[in-house]
A and B are shown apart, each in its own frame.
Chain A
């Protein structure tokens, strides 16, 4: 590949107000890199990111007709976009700018060895210069986008984001695998702190969905296939029919439920009850009409006899496809299912999970009973399936402490004679949820605490269930607790069925939850452009956290598709067709199906689909003929950088200057710093020459907003140009004066 080397490069080196210049001799660095090939000008600044410095850079680029730019300052994580914008404003292609990180990876990391830090800064900047010399001008890839969003999962997260997207003007397809909406929240009973029931939240959201024309809800719908890419995905969906039409009243429901002869364990109640082949998850479940479980149904026709017009047992499964610009994944979680024998689960008859207990409590009426026995003492064992030292689930599930304690409050409220014993690994009712812990203490709940490595044991002795805990709060004494019911406070894990993630090619983390691009900075985007994740499928979340993430994902998705056009980073793989001899290894390896086999100039070669390639580069080492490279990371560029790193550095040492410097000491250094000050700082210093002043006074004098003045004044103060007088003026503003 031929490249025109850039010959008019501008290098801008930042003092970062001392953060760099205290450890790196910036002026010396500037002197050395001036002589690098291709460098036309080198400039040092106090704060490269300041507005005035940005304007200055733009002027320099235009004035000197620069064709490349290196900014050597802090980490590109902070200011890459800032300087790309500077380049754009100066008419320079943003990809002809390379960032050199001489703060986090040089001045700060080597603040203990300033000579070496200076040496390293030279090398880092040289590598950046070498890279920018070979850089190409690139344009972002622009593609069309449909303002349609597919939301997968109609729990409260999916429903909420569907509403949000519709409000922002997108058309929404809401796809739910179950026949009823509401997901896990519908199962959850009373929620902290309002005590509102989960099913009420579901009802409110469902009614809003029904009001909107631009949301289409599919229930019994499963994603089968995905084609296309961001802006225009094509989703294939399989729809299982309900076999029941229209709404039905309670009377009809009671009759058909009675008539149906077939029974199966009710998953909605976690196996605590049975349901019929025709069923609703719960009486008020939405959509209103019941559904027939065709896997169970033997078509006996008993229900049809009650109302033939409403039931058609011969309805068929449908396969449909539709297009969407963006996809939101809100598939939620599964409660952790303990292994047999884990804290007596399934081996001791009165051990149940928190989720089962919530259902049990929700359904109980008058007396609290389990398997026919009245319950007085309840022991809760926390962190079951979470924070496992040996198991797969290292995470904290975040919601279970609050949920278990709230259950304890609810059960005591409903049955005052009940006593709660919490066997915890430390309570994590973070934030406002702490109040439920206080309430529970106040109502007399007893807390014990164990540590990892000394897990409590549950066993049946005669008629009684005993739990032995090594209680960390009682000098690690072994305490025996008797309980009528043992509730395992089970956390959140990823859904067993991850087929949709596999179809969408969403990365799955080691904890099985779906991975975002960056945990903190880009928490709802995935590396698959146009696919977003929200709610508990990404990581354990409570309702509040779920709502926050789903609204973030909706906003991100909408901002992507609502303009009809999408810009993509051009940092993708390219194939050198001279070298490529189609072997298919790249295609085989690529997780994103970005390679196509094409005929070009009479030979078969690989071609990269620009919208599908993510630019990860995993394909580049596997190419036997080394024909693939990622834009900006070619062999030449990498080798150029290595060369720049190893090339000798000879710092220009002027003995006389050094002696003079040590004689004059600080003043000389201060003068140097003063010369590099931004214009604004110099004006502030001038203004202070006539005496001490407060920030508003200086601002008025310089006709600048006082927050700007404050910003510059504070850095002047930090670097010893001004000091505060410890006096205030009549408006109670601090006065500042020049430091002599």
Chain B
């Protein structure tokens, strides 16, 4: 199917797209007939992280007398994926009336909420080219309009244009009309879909947020500068999510916020000897505080997301038994959100962010800089990654069937730290080395995550059961259903434990060890003066330099590939991370402080 073609109307014809002269002109050129004009006000919806856009689609909402009419269509050719209705402008798929397309839309959004991304007011003059049966064979329209930023209310004009849309099975008529319009108005332009041009008009780019770290660090950058870069990126993620956290738009704002906090804490650990120690400690303390205060709400969010899945796992005669539990969680989540909001509006938080930003933008102290401040980042990174890898291997090898749960929990934290460092610094190393290591590590993290999460959720379920009984005396069915779930979680935990050795073995391999060692050699080679002594055969140094060039090329290629596969990767990432009741577990299993 061919795309919708768009022809900009140049100044000579721009008496306004609604003018009769222009309509007549287009009708004369194309042989199309004007239908009644339309004034359209629509809103483009997408999730905060642009999941619909990433899936090559747009969702347009128009308010009418019966509520909201939604059109979900393909970004490129405008083909309709589904027409849907809702009583209010939808936030979640459950706000939309049931229809075949709803399930597909829900799968694309996953657990994220829809938000208004841009509003558009359009004056649209439709025209149809019809054949001798009075059948429409090509659709045209003259369009002009205004884009409105939903956050600020700022307005921007959209340039007038003629759009041409083919009808399936009538390609020849479409080709003829495109040719005639090209003769008259010049070549069609790639202005892209209306949503994209409307977003551009208000200064936004679709896909401008991702929770993934996409940092391009340059080799030779002083460690201090590079770590500040990493932390600035993470601070931006935190700040972009904070409104959504406070509004509780969906669970993922807080999730992304927390991950950014946790990554910042890992970065601060890396900053030992790079940032001035007293300051580093102060921020490490503050970010630990921040991590802790987001915990209770997140734990409840995880449960709330899981309840429908739990319900499915229960036998039919216990259907509905979890409703009181859901209510209980909702009440608790409200209270937890209020606490969190108070903290995020507190003086301590405000000062933390302000001081942190100042610190990240201030120059290196010229006198007496910390010992590692000027170390090239790749060397520091390689060293720290090697150390984190060693630690995972050492701790992991000690684990046997008799090891206490804490041992697995500590290993999980070791693995997470290694993973974050690989993500921060991936642009500095051979893309293949990083990819292979991360892939093996992910498998290990998955099994450790399941193990730990099942344990924590089981304990939390029991605690909730007790709290509910004390508060509301729930029906026995509810408590029994919680009991059934506790048993399921116990099985899941045992299962994860049984698979641990096998998963650890896929990470504890000579190949992964080689990759890590290679990163170090690579970083050392880059830091050494490149010219070989003239009396020695140039093989070693020359080949190293070549290799490095090749690797840098490979790295940047891989980066663009990563970007393309971002949606998928994001999703995998989410599922893996979405079940993460961290803090409760930490306290109970005596995690490192």
A binds B: no
Which residues of B come within 8 Å of A, CB atoms?
A: none
Which residues of A come within 8 Å of B, CB atoms?
A: none
